[in-house]
Chain A
Amino acid sequence: MTVFTDKIEQLAASIYGHIGGSYPYFTAVIRYLLPLLALIVIIRCAKSLLREKFEPEEWGILTMAGGIKYTLYHWENTIGRAKSSDVCINYPTVSRSHGALIRDSGGSWTVYDLNSKTGIRVNGEDVVGSREISSGDIVSVGGADMVFLPLDKTGERTQAEQRTKPGRVIKPGVTLFLLTLFQVFLGLQCCIAGRDALDGRIPLGFIALTALMWFAYIFTRIMRRSAFEIETLAFMLSTVGMAVTATSVPSDMFKQVLFMIAGLVLYFALGWFLRDLNRAKKMRWPIAAAGLVLLGINLVLSEAVFGAKNWLSIGGFSFQPSEFVKICFIFAGAATLDRLFAKRNLILFIGFAGCCVMALVLMSDFGTAIIFFVTYLVISFIRSGSIATVFLSVGGAVFAGMLAISMRPYIAARFSTWRHAWDFVNESGYQQTRTMSAAASGGFFGVGACEGWLHNVVAANTDMVFGVVCEELGLILALILIASIILMAVYVVKYAEAARSSFYTIAACAAAALFIFQLTLNVLGCVDILPFTGVTFPFVSKGGSSLIACWGLLAFIKACDTRQNASFTVKMPKKVKYTGDLDDTADLYRDYEDDTDSDVQPDFTDTDWRWNDE
Chain B
Amino acid sequence: MNKIRKRAVSVLLLVALLIVGMGFYMFELFRDGSDWASFSANQGVYDNGSLSTGTITDRNGVVLSAPGEGGRVYNDDPAVRRAVLHAVGDRWGNIGTGALYVFSSKLIGYDIVQGTYSVDGSGKTLELAIDADLNVAALNAMNGCKGTVAVADCETGEIICMVSSPTYDPDNEPENFDSEEYDGAFLNRFLSASLTPGSTFKLITMAAAIENIPDLFDRSFTCEGTYSVGSDVVTCTGVHGSIDAEEALAVSCNCAFAQIALELGSETLCEYAERYGFTESFEIDGVKTVAGHFEAAPEGSVDLAWSGIGQFTDLVNPAAMLRFVSAIANGGKAPELTMLKNSKTAKTERIIDADTAARLSEMMNYAVYRTYGTDNFPGITMYAKSGTAEVAGEQPHAWFTGYGVYGDRTLSFVVVLENGGYGSVMAGSVANTVLQKAFGLS
Contacts and interface: CB of A to CB of B under 8 A. Distances in A.
Contacts of B33: 440
B392 interface: no
Contacts of B110: 440-441
Interface string B410-429: 00000000000000000000
Interface string A559-603: 000000000000000000000000000000000000000000000
Nearest to B4: A502
Contacts of B39: 425, 433, 436-437
B441 interface: no
Contact of A523 (B22, B34, B36): B22
A513 interface: yes
A77 interface: yes
B3 A374 contact: no
A447 B116 contact: yes
Nearest to A76: B1
A440 B36 contact: yes
B36 A24 contact: no
A526 to B, nearest CB: 10
Nearest to B5: A496
Query: Interface centre among B3, B4, B14, B120, by most A CB within 10 Å?
Result: B4
Given A443-B113, A444-B114, A524-B21, A434 B4 contact: no
B7 A382 contact: yes
Interface in B298-343: none
Given A440-B110, A489-B14, A516-B15, A530 B21 contact: yes
A86 B24 CA distance: 41
A73 B5 CA distance: 13
A119 to B, nearest CB: 22
A75 to B, nearest CB: 8
Nearest to B1: A74
Contacts of B121: 24
B12 to A, nearest CB: 6
B317 to A, nearest CB: 30
A440 B8 contact: no
Nearest to A374: B14
B14 A513 contact: yes
A574 to B, nearest CB: 26
Contacts of A440: 29, 32-34, 36-37, 110, 115-116
Contacts of A438: 42, 44
A155 to B, nearest CB: 20
Given A440-B110, A440-B115, A520 B17 contact: yes
B62 interface: no
B14 A84 contact: no
A530 B18 CA distance: 11
Contacts, number: 167
A101 B8 CA distance: 21
Nearest to B30: A440
A474 B28 CA distance: 16
A24 B120 CA distance: 7
Interface in A374-433: 374, 378, 381-382, 385, 425, 433
A77 B2 CA distance: 8
B115 A436 contact: no
B43 interface: yes
A78 interface: yes
Contacts of A475: 29
A533 interface: no
A74 B36 CA distance: 53
B2 A78 contact: yes
A446 interface: yes
Contacts of A489: 11-12, 14-15
Given A442-B115, A456-B43, A505 B4 contact: yes
Interface residues of A, number: 66
A337 B5 CA distance: 12
Contact of A499 (B1, B32, B112): B1
A529 interface: yes
Contacts of B25: 523-524, 527, 529
Contacts of A447: 44, 115-117
Contacts of A28: 119
A502 to B, nearest CB: 5
A27 B14 CA distance: 36
A337 B15 contact: no
Interface string B194-214: 000000000000000000000
Contacts of B120: 24
A471 B29 CA distance: 13
B239 interface: no
A381 B21 CA distance: 23
A84 B213 CA distance: 89
A489 B8 CA distance: 10
A264 interface: no
A392 B3 CA distance: 21
Query: Interface centre among B18, B21, B119, B120, by most A CB within 10 Å?
Result: B18
A486 interface: yes
B29 A439 contact: yes
B218 to A, nearest CB: 63
Nearest to B44: A441
Query: Interface centre among A74, A436, A523, by most B CB within 10 Å?
Result: A436
Nearest to A24: B119
Given A86-B2, A443-B117, A444-B112, A509 B22 contact: no
A479 interface: yes
Query: Interface centre among B18, B39, B117, by most A CB within 10 Å?
Result: B117
A109 to B, nearest CB: 15
Nearest to A31: B117
Given A443-B114, A443-B116, A496 B8 contact: yes
A84 B1 CA distance: 9
B267 interface: no
B7 A381 contact: yes
A499 B8 CA distance: 11
Interface in B94-112: 110-112
B45 interface: yes
A446 B43 contact: no
A482 interface: yes
Contacts of A182: none
A495 to B, nearest CB: 9
A512 interface: yes
B21 A523 contact: yes
Given A28-B119, A516-B15, A516-B18, A441 B2 contact: no
Contacts of A197: none
B17 A505 contact: no
B37 A84 contact: no
Given A440-B33, A440-B36, A440-B115, A479 B21 contact: no
A523 B110 CA distance: 23
A453 B15 contact: no
B52 to A, nearest CB: 11
B12 A490 contact: yes
Contacts of A453: 42-44
Contacts of A4: none
Contacts of A150: none
B11 A512 contact: yes
A441 B37 contact: yes
Contacts of A479: 22
Interface string B36-55: 11010111110000000000
B37 to A, nearest CB: 4
A158 to B, nearest CB: 23
A204 B63 CA distance: 46
Given A443-B113, A445-B117, A499-B1, A490 B15 contact: yes
9 contacts: A337-B4, A385-B3, A436-B39, A437-B42, A440-B36, A440-B115, A441-B117, A446-B117, A499-B4
Given A78-B2, A442-B117, A527-B28, 15 more contacts: A25-B119, A76-B1, A433-B41, A436-B32, A444-B115, A445-B117, A447-B44, A447-B117, A448-B117, A474-B115, A509-B11, A516-B18, A520-B14, A520-B21, A524-B18
7 A-B pairs with the lowest CB-CB distances in the bound complex, closest first: A443-B115, A453-B43, A496-B8, A440-B36, A440-B33, A437-B39, A440-B37
